[in-house]
């Protein structure tokens, strides 16, 4: 069938050519310059900083967006995108609803994985570790830094629960906006706050030519002088 004879997809115009491309034929040659042990920072947080700065200089869209994977009490995994809101030697911080699916998963099982998918610069970083709630003062400080609308949104949304309709959600928001007009302090929802992920391993992946990618992984090791052991993994 000729492309111009392609059936129309409802509301989206003709099928995009991409729909006819076999994903198995999509290949990309990665860059030659790699990640060598000799140039690696002494600890994963410093190394993360270097790559996070590179990601910002490369003008990536939302370089702080990460895939967060959790596992529930019966061993079933789930994932979603969340924004990184801070990090230091204690770990990586994000904010969410504690009663959400991920919040409930973490209450049962604190093991977690984070993945930064920096595809345009052929890099990814994968963190594994355990998540603990950040202190209420830290959560309150971050909550107050958010726009008024986002503060109300946190109250309006019973994250991950079914809601009857879009109108219902907007009605809840409008009620809150009447109760807490702009300029008036919005209390921090007790069901909302941060998680800090203390890293147990951090893998830095750099795409290289011929699929001989670089993978250097830091594993927490209290017996190592830096507290971290580094291993190269086969790609």
Q: Which residues contact ligand FMN (rule: CB under 6 A)?
A: 62, 65, 78, 80-83, 94-97, 100-102, 159-160
Closer CB to ligand FMN, residue 61 or residue 167? 61
CA distances from 170 to 149, 156, 173, 178, 225 (A): 12, 8, 5, 12, 54
The length of the chain is 235
- Catalytic choice (31, 179, 211, 232): 211
* φ and ψ of 95, to 5 deg: -120, 145
Question: Residue 179 carries which DSSP code?
Answer: H
Q: In whole angstroms, what is the distance from residue 18 CA to residue 2 CA?
A: 14
Give catalytic status of residue 211 as yes or no.
yes
CB closer to ligand FMN, 65 vs 122: 65
- Spatial contact of 110 and 128, defined as CB atoms under 8 Å apart: no
CB of 70 to ligand FMN, least distance (A): 8
Cβ 196 to ligand FMN, closest distance in Å? 14
Q: Say if strands 123-133 and 77-83 run parallel, antiparallel, or are unpaired.
A: unpaired
3-state class (DSSP) for residue 201: strand
Q: Which residue numbers belong to the known binding site? A: 27-30, 80-85, 95-96, 101-102, 124, 142, 146, 150, 159-160, 205, 211-213, 215
Binding annotation for substrate: 27-30, 85, 142, 146, 150, 211-213
Binding site members for FMN:
80-85, 95-96, 101-102, 124, 159-160, 205, 215
- Known catalytic residues? 211
């Amino acid at each position: 069938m000729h492309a111009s004879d392609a059936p129309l997809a409802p509301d989206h115009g003709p099928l995009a050519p991409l729909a006819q491309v076999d994903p198995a034929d999509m290949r990309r040659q990665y860059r030659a310059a790699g990640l060598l042990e000799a140039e690696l920072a002494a600890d994963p947080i410093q190394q993360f900083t270097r790559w996070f700065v590179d990601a910002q200089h490369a003008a990536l869209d939302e370089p702080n967006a990460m895939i967060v994977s959790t596992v529930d009490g019966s061993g079933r995994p789930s994932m979603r995108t969340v924004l990184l809101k801070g990090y230091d030697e204690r770990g990586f911080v994000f904010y969410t609803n504690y009663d959400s699916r991920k919040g409930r998963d973490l209450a049962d099982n604190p093991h977690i994985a984070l993945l930064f998918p920096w595809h345009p610069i052929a890099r990814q970083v994968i963190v594994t570790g355990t998540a603990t709630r950040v202190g209420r003062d830290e959560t309150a400080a971050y909550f107050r830094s958010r726009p008024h609308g986002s503060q109300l949104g946190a109250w309006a949304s019973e994250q991950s629960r079914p809601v009857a309709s879009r109108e219902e959600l907007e009605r809840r928001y409008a009620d809150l906006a009447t109760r807490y007009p702009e300029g008036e302090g919005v209390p921090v929802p007790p069901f909302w706050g941060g998680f800090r992920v203390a890293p147990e391993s951090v893998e830095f992946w750099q795409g290289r030519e011929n699929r001989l990618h670089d993978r250097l992984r830091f594993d927490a090791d209290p017996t190592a002088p830096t507290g971290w052991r580094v291993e190269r993994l086969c790609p």
